[in-house]
Amino acid sequence: MSAAPASPKSLQRRVLALAVASIITSGSLAAQESPEDSAGTAQLETVTVTAQRKEEDLQKVPISITTLDTEKLDVLGSGGEDIRFLSSRLPSLQIESSFGRAFPRFYIRGLGNTDFDLNASQPVSLIYDGVVQENPILKGFPVFDLDRIEMLRGPQGTLFGRNTPAGVLKFESRRPEQTPDGYGQISYGRFGTLNLEGAIGGGLSEDWSARVSALYQRRDDWVDNTRNGPGDDLEGYREFAMRAQLLYAPGNDFEALFNLHARSLDGTARLFRANIIRPGSSELISGFDPDSISIDGDNFQELDTWGANARMSWNFEGFNLHSITGYETVDTLSRGDIDGGFGAVFAPPSGPGFIPFTAESADGLPDHHQISQEFRLESNTDAALQWQAGVYYFDEDITIDSFNYDSLAPGRPQNGYAEQRQENTAYAVFGSLEYAVNDQFKLRGGLRYTHDEKDFVAERTQSPLSFLGVGPIGPLYANPSDSDVSWDVSGVYQITDDFNTFVRVAKGYRAPSIQGRLLFGDVVSVADAETVISYEAGFKSDFWDRRARLGFTLFSYTVDDQQLTAVGGGANFNTLVNADKTVGSGFELDAEAYLTDRLLVTAGFSYNDTEIQDDTLAVQPCGGGCMVYDPAGPVAGTVLLDGNRLPQAPLKVANITARYSIPMASGELFFFTDWAYRDEISFFLYDSAEFNGKALLEGGLRVGYNWSGGRYEVAAFGRNITNEQQLVGGIDFNNLTGFINEPRIYGLEFSARF
């Protein structure tokens, strides 16, 4: 009698257990084979971060932080994925998108925004080379030639940009240096996935140095649209990004770093697949084929961005002056077949499954610019009392086009158009003090006053529902304005040279937001400002003669008037709402250790328990025939959200990496594996059987050889090596439409450094 097949969840557990067991076993074998390893000669390097706007040892900063170095970034990005490859690779971090590569949405400790509109405000701030990337399109800039990534969890509003109640992701590019250096990297893999990456830099004169880096990524189409005959039509892309930096450093008293960067993307928008969800569950339907789709609409994505910034620093007696000037602009258009199928039930043939009506739309940013300026003073003495103070200005002007198309008419003509225009200006004044009570104990406190104004207008000039008597509307206006004071207080106590404890209390703030997609609605919604109070306590420790490092943080937070987005639903319309209160609590763990001189293991784990607490907040659930678990609301066709977890907020996130090396006569043979796990998630505010993502475990493997002191390397790699196929998002207004995770990619890579 044959055994019953294992469930997907049990298989995930077995793979994770096998990965952990293999790491422990390989460490034991290495220790037996190499007695000299037990002497413990390998040590972890000190990690320097700028979480408090100055260079500090990670272990002494009273903030929950995780960093990623360049080698790990190279490994995680080897399959040609965009910035979403960071999701679940750091504790409490999730990244998802219904736009594909163009529009990532970030969540830290469950706090994020599911809104897919192009002026959506997010509570996670992304800072790239000192400049806030406010628009969600800007946050998708590719990851290449970086010095490091820092993830700061919890409110960071007193020192960084704007809208940071959930946390900050900081990307720092590799700076120019006088010493000539650079690298080149090429990889090729499944589906014609090609990655070309490189940089070159060095001194131009005694005072000037430069660095130029570039990235080109390509993937062939690998999904066949069966509606237009055989042949692959979709999921390919071509992407190019570059960065040019010029550093002027005539001495110790002044430096100026100039940065010019650009990105161009031409590819496929997110593929929505009609009725791929098994009714009454979150399982994919039997016989689901990721290599084919049947749609009758267009699908493409075009994006061009460029920006520039100047960072200047002056050193004076007793203090330093810093200036950061930034400019960013975007031009993008993304079009997709939203119903995920062909035809309609009233216009057969149609399918796959039930297609009640067609939906094909496009959104674009034909006009966008962002200007920001910061001046900051900081003390540079050895006194016990240190200080920082500054001013910040932000100005953004955007125009959003929204189109709808008639998929059933010859040539699929445009039958709907709406436009949004928004001007956003904000300014802030901030300061902080840090006092060393003694050699072991430091206290820090910060304040930030922020004023934010938005001027918004939207109108619909062509209605896709004109056959129902719905016509143009608008212009409709919204002009929210608000001010607030953010603050934080923290303390770090050094118990021993290698063991630090910390506590932190912080208040975060997010300015009012506006939602005005008028293609299928007649109102503009405005969400009031949200505030969060966060409490944290934890420790950071080096031990085992600096062969191991551990960080642990307990946290809890309360969000008042949290801004949430009721996406889609039976109304087929996005609406902003404020929840009276949301609470969250949990913990985060980061660990790193040389189990032997040849085996380096890193691990991360987070537990995030979130809950919406508002007994009157109700939204319209799905219009696609799903099984909703929430109780009925006060208005017919709505459900109550009280007690629900936040969307895209898994209870548990775990990740592990292991690198094992074997020295050889002329180089090093190495094995690198990485695994990331996230618990099940809900895609929307309401709770349903279908629109939930099952637990997801994805792994990577890299086997390589480097020589000549690490200057040259050749490697074979695999991403999503177990070929997991899971639902990661859905469209809920029409049918049981969903989209899936990235496919398995494998290939070869060669790199050279000089």
| Distance of alpha carbon 715 from the chain centroid | 27
pLDDT at 26 over 80: no
CB 595 within 8 A of CB 20: no
Overall CATH class of domain 8-753: mainly beta
pLDDT interval class at 70 (50, 70, 90): confident
Position 23 scores a pLDDT of: 34
List the structure tokens of 721.
């090596």
CA atoms within 13 A on the CB side of 544: 18
Tens digits of residue pLDDT in 74-86:
888 888 889 999 9
User: Which sign does the torsion angle of CA 406, 412, 416, 421 carry?
Assistant: positive
The average pLDDT across 397-421 equals 96
Tens digits of residue pLDDT in 150-194:
999 999 988 887 879 999 999 999 999 999 999 999 999 999 999
- Number of Cβ within 10 Å of residue 572's Cβ equals 18
- Residue 12 parent element (H or E): helix 8-33
CB 214 within 8 A of CB 197: yes
pLDDT interval class at 236 (50, 70, 90): very high
Tens digits of residue pLDDT in 84-104:
999 999 999 999 999 889 999
Mean pLDDT, the chain, whole residue set: 92
pLDDT at 303 over 90: yes
The average pLDDT across 56-76 equals 90
Residues shown for the chain: 754
In angstroms, rounded to a whole number, what is the distance separating the alpha carbons of residues 640 and 684? Answer: 13
pLDDT interval class at 24 (50, 70, 90): very low
The average pLDDT across 383-404 equals 97
Domain boundaries along the sequence of the chain: 8-753
Q: How does DSSP classify residue 62?
A: S
Q: Which amino acid is at 510?
A: R
Largest CA distance in the chain: 83
Characterize 91-119 residue by residue with b for buried, 16 or more Cβ atoms within 10 angstroms of its Cβ, and e for exposed: bbbbbbbbbbbbbbbbbbbbbbbbbbbbb
Position 665 scores a pLDDT of: 86
Tens digits of residue pLDDT in 659-715:
999 999 899 999 999 999 999 999 999 999 999 999 999 999 999 999 999 999 999
Tens digits of residue pLDDT in 424-453:
999 999 999 999 999 999 999 999 999 999
530-543 vs 499-510, strand pairing mode:
antiparallel
In angstroms, rounded to a whole number, what is the distance separating the alpha carbons of residues 513 and 527? Answer: 5
* pTM of the predicted structure, to 2 decimals: 0.93
pLDDT interval class at 9 (50, 70, 90): very low
pLDDT interval class at 31 (50, 70, 90): very low
In angstroms, rounded to a whole number, what is the distance separating the alpha carbons of residues 152 and 58? Answer: 11
Q: Lowest-confidence range among 197-211, 261-275, 622-636?
A: 622-636
| End-to-end Cα distance, the chain | 61
List the structure tokens of 600.
């380096």
Q: Tokens 């934010």: give the residue.
A: 452
| Distance of alpha carbon 702 from the chain centroid | 24
User: Could you give the percent of the chain with pLDDT greater than 90?
Assistant: 84
Q: Tokens 């328990």: give the residue.
A: 609
Positions of E strands within 129-253: 131-132, 146-153, 167-173, 181-189, 193-203, 208-219, 223-225, 232-234, 237-248
CB 221 within 8 A of CB 235: yes
